[in-house]
Each structure stands twice: as C-alpha cells, then as structure tokens.
C-alpha cells in the first residue's frame, strides 16, 4: 500500500508543482512559463520523496534515488504534455509518468521493509 501512496503523492505534487511553477513563471513571459513549470515540477519531485520518507513509505536511504526517479518521470511527463497541448487529456495523464518514476526509483520492496 505504501507504493500506492508514493505513486499518487508524486502524481499530485508534480502536477501541482508544474502548474504552480508555470503560473509564477508566466510573470516573466513565455520562457518563464516553461522554466517555471519545470522548476516547480522538479521541486515537487524532491518534496514528494521527502514526504514518502517521513511517512515511512520508503526507507530514508532510498530518498535520493526516489527523487531522481520522480524527476526523470516528471521530465518525461513534461515532454508528453508539451506535445499534447491540443487536448487536456495528454497533459493530465502524463503526470502518471512522475508516479511511475517515483515507484521505480524507490526500488524493490525488501522483506525487511514490511
């Protein structure tokens, strides 16, 4: 169940981080909008893994690699979102990649982690 919480936390936070960063970055023009969205999503990647470690969903020793996995997933999601802006489905569903990145980055669940 911990992996499910990690998955959904990464999806929600990376989505919100990307949107929030875009809103703030928009004040600096079109380039700021894109940069803000990416920076916001990457910051949310770190926050989601911190929450997962604090909640005990992942061991603290796996926090860094969970952050990296989430960040890679978010960057892939941002790529999909940019290429599917003509429909709201693509950008929304692309955040699933951030959740998958978090779960993959956190590694296999060991029996000792139960």
- Judge whether 44 and 83 are in contact, CB under 8 Å: no
CA distance 2 to 17: 22
Q: What percent of the chain has pLDDT over 70?
A: 95
Residue extents of the structural domains in the chain: 2-108
Question: 9-65: per-residue pLDDT in tens?
Answer: 999 999 999 999 999 999 999 999 999 999 999 999 999 999 999 999 999 999 999
Q: What percent of the chain has pLDDT over 90?
A: 78
Nearest to 42 by CA among 71, 15, 73: 71
> What pTM was estimated for this model as a whole?
0.88
Report the pLDDT averaged over residues 82-103: 89
């Amino acid at each position: 169940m911990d992996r499910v919480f990690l998955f959904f936390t990464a999806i929600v936070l990376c989505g919100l981080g990307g949107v929030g960063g875009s809103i703030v970055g928009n004040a600096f023009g079109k380039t700021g909008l894109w940069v803000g969205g990416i920076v916001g999503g990457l910051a949310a990647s770190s926050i989601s893994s911190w929450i997962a470690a604090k909640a005990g969903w992942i061991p603290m020793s796996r926090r860094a690699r969970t952050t990296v996995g989430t960040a890679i997933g978010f960057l892939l999601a941002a790529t999909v979102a940019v290429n599917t802006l003509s429909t709201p489905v693509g950008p929304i569903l692309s955040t699933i990649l951030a959740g998958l990145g978090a779960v993959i980055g956190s590694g296999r669940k060991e029996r000792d982690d139960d």
